[in-house]
Amino acid sequence: MENQYNKTITACFVGYIVQAIVNNFVPLLFLFFQRNYHIPLSQITLLVTFNFGIQLLVDLLSVGFIDKIGYRASMIMAHVLSAAGLVLLTVLPEILPVPFVGILAAVMVYAVGGGLLEVLVSPVVEACPSGNKEKTMSMLHSFYCWGHAGVVLISTLFFYVAGIGNWKILAFIWALIPIANAFAFARVPIAPLIEDGGSTLVGMVSGVLGDNLKMGVLAGIIFPVLLLVGIVLCGRQKEGKF
């Protein structure tokens, strides 16, 4: 029984590598985007905040959404969106009048995929039968770190050998990983999940407060609002309005 879920666990490991790709590839291109598309650095750095802000919103909104369409469909969707965002990153800045809008749109697409992965991967692994679940979960979370290191090292080596001007080729190469893993999740078995509050912000807060769902939802609403307020205040401070 356990052996048939080994492929599921492996696919989840790769899922965290995909999340590392979408979170860490674009920041390596910030200076290139600034020079090539003439985008102010203040807007470029906003991409990081926008990426994680979208992921937090997905964290909140996915509470009932995932249960309705199922974990398999959600996993496939997460990988497809991650790949689509990376591909759109190579296209939209070139065809839209304002390159920054194109980059922002591409980031939004893969941020939704990354947010879904954050919500989905841990519960799927947790549900898989395993002789040493603590070790498996530790390995799972280490794969994001390995993915982060791999993205930085491989991308840096590629830029050194091929030149950063060929970054679009690397974006397509990185996009192949979520595409391949989407096909994997279409076939691997997924064990029935036990409702435990989930790994979302809402689930974590409600779990800490004794399964108080109202407080969890309240935290899920307040946190993105505070994030947006922080973005606005930082923007005004950079403009010299404070």
Residue 143 is predicted with a pLDDT of 92
Residue 188 is predicted with a pLDDT of 93
Examine the pLDDT at 206 and tell me if it is beyond 70: no
Between 66 and 159, whose confidence is greater? 159
What value does the mean pLDDT of the chain take?
82
Of 61-65, 113-117, 122-126, 188-192, the range with the lowest mean pLDDT is 61-65
pLDDT tens-digit series, residues 178-204: 999 999 999 999 987 755 444 444 454
Integer angstrom CA distances of residue 157 from 16, 163, 167, 225, 236: 22, 9, 12, 39, 38
Can you give the pTM of this predicted structure?
0.79
Going by pLDDT thresholds of 50, 70 and 90, the confidence category of residue 229 is low
Residue 222 is predicted with a pLDDT of 53
What are the backbone dihedrals phi and psi of residue 98, each rounded to the nearest 5 degrees, phi first? -110, 110
Examine the pLDDT at 74 and tell me if it is beyond 70: yes
Cα gap 120→102, rounded to integer Å = 28
CATH class for the region spanning 3-196: mainly alpha
Residue 86 is predicted with a pLDDT of 97
Cα gap 207→204, rounded to integer Å = 5
Residue 138 is predicted with a pLDDT of 86
Are the CB atoms for 231 and 46 separated by under 8 Å? yes
Examine the pLDDT at 217 and tell me if it is beyond 80: no
